[in-house]
Amino acid sequence: MIDLSELEHDTISELINIGVGRAASSLSEMVGQPVELTVPTISFVERFSDSELAKAPTEVVSAVSQRFEGPFTGEAMLVFPEVRSLELVRSLLKVDVPLDTLTDLEQEALMEVGNIILNACLGSISNVLGEPIDCAMPTFRKRETQALLDDDTSVASSGSHPVLMILHVQFMLRQNDIDGYVLFVMDLESIQMLRDLVRRFLDNSLG
Amino acid sequence: MTQSRSKPEKEQASAIDLSRESDAADLFAALLDTADTGLIALAPDGTICHWNQWIQSRSGKEANDVLGKALHEVFPDTKLGRVALAINDCLKFGMPAVISPSLNQGALPLRPLPQFSASFDRMEQSIRIHPIKTKRNGILCSLIIRDVTLAVQRDRLLRQQASELADLVTQTKRSEDRTRAILQNTVDAILVASDDGNIEPLNARAQELCGPTGDPELRDLIRFLLPDNEHTEIITPSPSKIITDLGTGVIEVQASTLNGRNVPLEVAISHFSADERYHYIITLRDISQRKRHEKEIQRTMQELERSNAELEQFAYAASHDLQEPLRMVSSYTQLLARRYQGQLDEAADEFIHYAVDGTQRMQRMIDDLLTLSRVGRHGKPFSPVPLDSLFDAIVTNFKRAGSAPKDNIIREGKLPMVVGDASQLLLLFQNLISNGLKYSDPQSGLVKVFASETPGSYQISVVDNGIGIDPQYHDTIFEVFKRLHGYGEYAGTGIGLAICKKIVERHGGSIEVTSVPGEGSTFSVELPKELSIVAASQSM
């Protein structure tokens, strides 16, 4: 289904890394402390249940999700186990009195962090491939991993089988490292379009 | 958000004619101005093309003054930073943005509402930045600003309260841990019994005694000892289990642990009320060590009593048996003295004189030794003795013997009534007064006797104005045969003060001397008001 050459895979990885690097520098500036972001792996899976993330189906996760439309269409999501999301927000906000659950304000902060990262990834892809992408406002969801993609508005329900591009992202903060995921949920057509655009980009730049 | 907003506008449009451009413009302008959020629209070149009523009043900047300017010209401190970047991304790439109050405090310099101005310099804002695609003008950018100062204030308050609560919990926990540690590490076993007969061990030692390897009968034993044990079934313990002396009020029980150790325990019971119920706190103290010591002391006491009795017996027998040959020597030397005085030469007279004197001194010493041994052996039972009449008797004795000038024995104040052996007390004070007179100038010598009182004892002092005693001898003068002066200077056997000491000790008291050489001595006898058990048993 998704046959990507090593070069194509590397290119996507590079685009994502450029975006993520930009997001990290924005975040560092905002929170006044060094924030590093890396994407150690990018993988493609056909079924969400095959992903690393789905191995703990009942774990509660926090997700910031942003739909996008353009030559390829789908939903981008920054996902953390809830505990990690609390850690992340609290280290970024330097909270001295942690409460048990994510407060409204913390949730909104997490949304902003997700927005910055997802915008940066999508922006980087869109910019380099020369194809504009329209993004919607981010939304927040909190649910068990197994229900993460159950959303009426998600492409998942549009009939066609979704394909996932999963980025494992690592936040390196002053006190600790926090692991999360960025998911790109697209239908097969969209992901093929993405591959085609990457090929075109490679042809242009190599040729 | 813009989409959802535009729907009702279309429905309302049936009331007015939206196809007329002026009607539509009026409606939209009114909607934007009545919104309870800040609305700013930026043209593709970044200049402000809309500035609603809300943002006018919160920023203090009129629309006329800002339209056509870039946002950073109106708010210079937004030139760099999150808002400017987000606007740039929005206009250039059509990216929406969330700007949260937590990560961007007071992103725009807006005034907080008056009620927040005391704690907030700027309004706390939650901002959404949207790209707006238009057919004619390309991408515009909208900023929707909500005032979330109240939420931020609530969040601060919540955290403050959570922090206080956490402190309180920590404090409580620390105090509880400390109490638990104290309880756990107490040597005594502590148990709590409720009125339903349930007994719960509170610490490790109690667990040990009542646990699987402890004494299986201990709980029953405790139930038996509780004052209010009507509600529970009581198993009367075997008499060997309770080793208490009920007279002393101390409860002692014998626990036999399953590993075969017998542990004597002292039981203390106190109580408290909680949850409208009565509870007892039972403290069990292992008194094995004390019991061993008690036995040791008892044995030593018996040993001492036996050896004392033996000694007294020996002293008595020795002095008694010595008297017989001495009397023989004494009678014949006296006979020699009477019959051959002046018939032999001078040296013989002198020798006979020394022999007679020697036997007389020896006689006195043997008499005194007998007296000393009798203090312990032949004491009379104790009875109340008025020291005033005792004093009078002593003065009479001295007068009769003619050994003292008139009025040189003085009683100051009243003397108390004490409990003791009258004849021994007479001997005691007679010795002390006699000593006082002996070591004083025969003409100006003066002995005073007076009493003072402490809560537990009487102190009777005998004060003289004699030659005094060097402090180095203050302890030794009470020993037998201890003399500080040659026999020629002051008469006496050196036993008098030893007798005094023995009498005082038999009465459970003490005697000591204070003195300034050349000025006089004070002998103080302290007698307890209530007889100690030892003295009382000896008086029987």
Q: pLDDT tens digits for B393-418?
A: 888 888 877 765 667 888 888 888 88
Confidence of residue B141 (pLDDT cuts 50, 70, 90): very high
Chain A contact for B96 (CB, 8 A cutoff): yes
Q: How close B200 gets to chain A, by Cα (Å)?
A: 36
Contact B160 A97 (CB under 8 A): yes
Please count the CA atoms within 13 angstroms of the CA of B181 that sit on its side-chain side: 6
Please count the CA atoms within 13 angstroms of the CA of B480 that sit on its side-chain side: 11
- Domain contains A207: no
The correct CATH number of B289-378 out of 3.40.390, 1.10.287, 2.60.120, 3.30.70 is 1.10.287
> Domain of A76?
6-202
Chain A contact for B104 (CB, 8 A cutoff): yes
Is CATH 3.40.1000 the right assignment for the domain spanning B189-286? no
Q: Characterize the bridge pairing of strands B383-386 and B138-147.
A: unpaired
**CATH number attached to the domain at B380-540:** 3.30.565.10
Both structure tokens of B7: 């729907």
From A105, A127, A138, residue closest to B101, measured CB to CB: A105
Of A13-27, B194-208, B367-381, the range with the lowest mean pLDDT is B367-381
Query: Residue A84 is part of a domain; what is its CATH number?
Result: 3.40.1550.10
From A127, A132, A137, residue closest to B128, measured CB to CB: A137
Report which secondary-structure segment, H or E, holds A205: helix A188-206
Answer whether residue B453 shows pLDDT above 80. Answer: yes
Strand partners, B262: B256
Answer whether residue B4 shows pLDDT above 50. Answer: no
Rounded mean pLDDT of B216-243?
Answer: 74
Rounded mean pLDDT of B228-238?
Answer: 68
Chain B contact for A133 (CB, 8 A cutoff): yes
- Domain contains A166: yes
Q: Characterize the bridge pairing of strands B447-453 and B409-412.
A: parallel
Residues of B with CB below 8 A from A106's CB?
102
pLDDT digits (tens, 9 = 90+) for A106-120: 999 999 999 999 999
Chain A contact for B97 (CB, 8 A cutoff): yes
pLDDT score, position A62: 92
Q: Which of B88, B270, B255, B118 is nearest to B192 (CA)?
A: B270
Determine the residue type at B169.
V
Confidence of residue B539 (pLDDT cuts 50, 70, 90): very low
Confidence of residue B5 (pLDDT cuts 50, 70, 90): very low
Chain B contact for A97 (CB, 8 A cutoff): yes
Answer whether residue B300 shows pLDDT above 90. Answer: yes
B145 Rama sector, left if φ>0, alpha if ψ -120 to 50, beta otherwise: beta
Chain A contact for B438 (CB, 8 A cutoff): no
Chain A contact for B358 (CB, 8 A cutoff): no
Answer whether residue B507 shows pLDDT above 70. Answer: yes
- Domain contains A1: no
pLDDT score, position B16: 65
Surface of B (63-92) touching A: CB under 8 A: 81-82, 85, 89
Residues of B with CB below 8 A from A135's CB?
94-96
Q: How close B14 gets to chain A, by Cα (Å)?
A: 30
Both structure tokens of B43: 């043209």
Strand ordering across the sheet containing B520-528 = B409-412, B447-453, B457-464, B520-528, B510-516
Q: What is the DSSP string of B252-308?
A: EEEEE-TTS-EEEEEEEEEEEEETTEEEEEEEEEE-HHHHHHHHHHHHHHHHHHHHH
B245 or A15, which is more confident: A15
Chain B contact for A198 (CB, 8 A cutoff): no
pLDDT digits (tens, 9 = 90+) for B515-534: 888 888 999 999 998 775 54
How many independent structural domains does chain A possess? 1
Q: Which residue of B has its CA nearest to A112?
A: B98
3-state secondary structure labels for all residues of A123-176: HHHHHHHCCCCEECCCEEEEEEHHHCCCCCCCHHHHCCCEEEEEEEEEEECCCC
Its pTM stands at 0.59
Confidence of residue B3 (pLDDT cuts 50, 70, 90): very low
Answer whether residue B150 shows pLDDT above 90. Answer: yes
Confidence of residue B291 (pLDDT cuts 50, 70, 90): confident
Both structure tokens of B164: 């206080």
pLDDT digits (tens, 9 = 90+) for B110-129: 999 999 989 899 999 999 99
- Tell me the C-alpha distance between B173 and A191, whole Å: 57
Contact A97 B163 (CB under 8 A): yes
Q: How close A72 gets to chain B, by Cα (Å)?
A: 16
Measured on CA atoms in the order B371, B375, B377, B383, is the torsion positive or negative? positive
Domain ranges of chain B: 35-147, 189-286, 289-378, 380-540
- Domain contains A84: yes
Distances (CA, A) of A80 to A106, A138, A162: 14, 15, 21
pLDDT score, position A137: 93
From B97, B128, B155, residue closest to A103, measured CB to CB: B155
Please report, rounded to a whole number, the percentage of residues in chain A having pLDDT higher than 70.
93
Please count the CA atoms within 13 angstroms of the CA of B306 that sit on its side-chain side: 6
In this structure, are residues B79 and B87 in contact, taking their beta carbons and an 8 Å threshold? no
Rounded mean pLDDT of B240-269?
Answer: 78
From A92, A106, A115, residue closest to B97, measured CB to CB: A115
Please check whether the two domains, B35-147 and B189-286, share a CATH topology: yes
Answer whether residue B370 shows pLDDT above 60. Answer: yes
- Domain contains A124: yes
Task: Output the average pLDDT for chain B.
Answer: 84
DSSP state of B456: S
Both structure tokens of B205: 């030692």
Of B171-175, B377-381, B425-429, the range with the lowest mean pLDDT is B377-381
Contact B95 A119 (CB under 8 A): yes
Report which secondary-structure segment, H or E, holds B523: strand B520-528
Contact A108 B166 (CB under 8 A): no
Answer whether residue B7 shows pLDDT above 60. Answer: no
Q: What is the DSSP string of A79-133?
A: EEEHHHHHHHHHHHHT-SS--SS--HHHHHHHHHHHHHHHHHHHHHHHHHHT---
In this structure, are residues B152 and B101 in contact, taking their beta carbons and an 8 Å threshold? yes
What angle separates helix A104-129 from helix B149-184, to the nearest 10 degrees? 120
Q: How close B136 gets to chain A, by Cα (Å)?
A: 18
**CATH number attached to the domain at B35-147:** 3.30.450.20
Radius of gyration of the CA atoms of chain B, in A: 54
Of B61-65, B159-163, B219-223, B328-332, the range with the lowest mean pLDDT is B219-223
Rounded mean pLDDT of A21-33?
Answer: 87
DSSP state of B416: P
Confidence of residue B296 (pLDDT cuts 50, 70, 90): very high
Q: Which of A185, A186, A55, A75 is nearest to A136 (CA)?
A: A75
pLDDT digits (tens, 9 = 90+) for B332-356: 988 888 888 888 888 888 888 888 8
Q: Which of B95, B89, B6 is nearest to A69 (CA)?
A: B95
Measured on CA atoms in the order B427, B433, B437, B440, is the torsion positive or negative? positive
Chain B contact for A33 (CB, 8 A cutoff): no
Answer whether residue B512 shows pLDDT above 50. Answer: yes
Answer whether residue B537 shows pLDDT above 70. Answer: no
Give the distance, in angstroms, between the CA of residue B139 and the centroid of all CA atoms in the same chain: 82
Residues of A with CB below 8 A from B104's CB?
30, 112
Chain A contact for B168 (CB, 8 A cutoff): no
Q: How close B86 gets to chain A, by Cα (Å)?
A: 9
